[in-house]
Homo-oligomer: A and B are copies of this chain.
Amino acid sequence: MQTELSTQLGAEHALFGFTPFPAVAAALTRAGGFGVLGAVRYGAADDLRRDLDWMAAHTGGLPWGLDVVMPAKKVESVTEADVEAMIPEEHRQYVRKVLDRYDVPDLPDGQDGGWRITGWMEEVARSQLDVAFDYPVKLLANALGSPPPDVIERAHRHDIPVAALAGSPRHAERHKEAGIDIIVAQGYEAGGHTGEIATMVLTPEVVRAVAPLPVLAAGGIGSGEQVAAALALGAQGAWLGSVWLTTTEADLGSRALTRKLLAATAGDTVRSRALTGKPARQLRTDWTDAWEPGEGPGPLPMPLQGLLVAEANSRIQRYEVEPLLGTPVGQIVGSMNSERSVQAVVDDLTRGFEAAVARLGGIAGAG
Residues in A1-21 with C-beta less than 8 Å from chain B: 1-3, 6-7, 12-14
Within the assembled complex, what's the spacing in Å between the Cα atoms of A332 and B203?
11
Secondary structure call for the A interface: helix
Known: A205-B266, A332-B201. A2 touches B225 (CB 8 A): no
Asked if A97 is at the interface of the complex by the 8 Å CB criterion, the answer is no
By beta carbon, the residue of chain B nearest A270 is B196
By beta carbon, the residue of chain B nearest A202 is B266
Asked whether, in the complex, the Cβ of B1 is within 8 Å of the Cβ of A364, the reply is yes
- Across the interface, which residues of B come within 8 angstroms of A168, CB to CB? 266-267
Asked if A200 is at the interface of the complex by the 8 Å CB criterion, the answer is yes
A9 to chain B, nearest CB (A): 13
As a 0/1 sequence over residues 215 to 248 of chain A, the CB contacts with chain B under 8 angstroms (1 = contact) are 0000111010110111111100000000000000
Complex partner residue of A200 from B200, B204, B354, B360, CB under 8 angstroms:
B200
Asked whether, in the complex, the Cβ of B13 is within 8 Å of the Cβ of A228, the reply is no
Within the assembled complex, what's the spacing in Å between the Cα atoms of A140 and B352?
33
Complex partner residue of A334 from B187, B205, B361, B367, CB under 8 angstroms:
B205
- Across the interface, which residues of B come within 8 angstroms of A367, CB to CB? 1-2, 6, 12-14, 350
Asked whether, in the complex, the Cβ of B361 is within 8 Å of the Cβ of A361, the reply is yes
Asked whether, in the complex, the Cβ of B232 is within 8 Å of the Cβ of A220, the reply is no
As a 0/1 sequence over residues 194 to 215 of chain A, the CB contacts with chain B under 8 angstroms (1 = contact) are 0111111110110000000000
By beta carbon, the residue of chain B nearest A14 is B363
Asked if A302 is at the interface of the complex by the 8 Å CB criterion, the answer is no
Complex partner residue of A1 from B198, B356, B363, CB under 8 angstroms:
B363
Asked if A118 is at the interface of the complex by the 8 Å CB criterion, the answer is no
Known: A14-B363, A360-B357, A361-B361. A197 touches B331 (CB 8 A): yes
Known: A198-B331, A353-B364, A364-B354. A225 touches B232 (CB 8 A): yes
A313 to chain B, nearest CB (A): 24
Complex partner residue of A221 from B200, B221, B265, B332, CB under 8 angstroms:
B200
Asked if A108 is at the interface of the complex by the 8 Å CB criterion, the answer is no
Asked whether, in the complex, the Cβ of B1 is within 8 Å of the Cβ of A267, the reply is no
As a 0/1 sequence over residues 234 to 277 of chain A, the CB contacts with chain B under 8 angstroms (1 = contact) are 10000000000000000000000000000001110000000000
- Across the interface, which residues of B come within 8 angstroms of A195, CB to CB? 267
Within the assembled complex, what's the spacing in Å between the Cα atoms of A191 and B350?
33
- Across the interface, which residues of B come within 8 angstroms of A293, CB to CB? 293
- Across the interface, which residues of B come within 8 angstroms of A199, CB to CB? 198, 200
- Across the interface, which residues of B come within 8 angstroms of A169, CB to CB? 265-266, 334
Asked whether, in the complex, the Cβ of A200 is within 8 Å of the Cβ of B228, the reply is no
Complex partner residue of A232 from B13, B188, B197, B232, CB under 8 angstroms:
B232
A–B Cβ pairs within 8 angstroms, 13 of them: A3-B366, A187-B198, A187-B200, A198-B200, A199-B200, A200-B200, A200-B219, A200-B220, A200-B221, A200-B226, A201-B226, A225-B232, A354-B364
- Given contacts A199-B200, A226-B233, A228-B229, could you give 19 more A-B pairs where the C-beta distance is less than 8 Å? A1-B363, A1-B367, A2-B367, A7-B366, A13-B367, A14-B363, A169-B265, A189-B198, A197-B266, A198-B198, A200-B219, A200-B230, A201-B220, A201-B331, A201-B335, A202-B266, A204-B226, A231-B363, A232-B356
The 9 A-B residue pairs with the shortest CB-CB distance in the complex, in nearest-first order: A200-B220, A229-B229, A189-B198, A1-B367, A228-B232, A2-B366, A198-B198, A2-B367, A201-B331
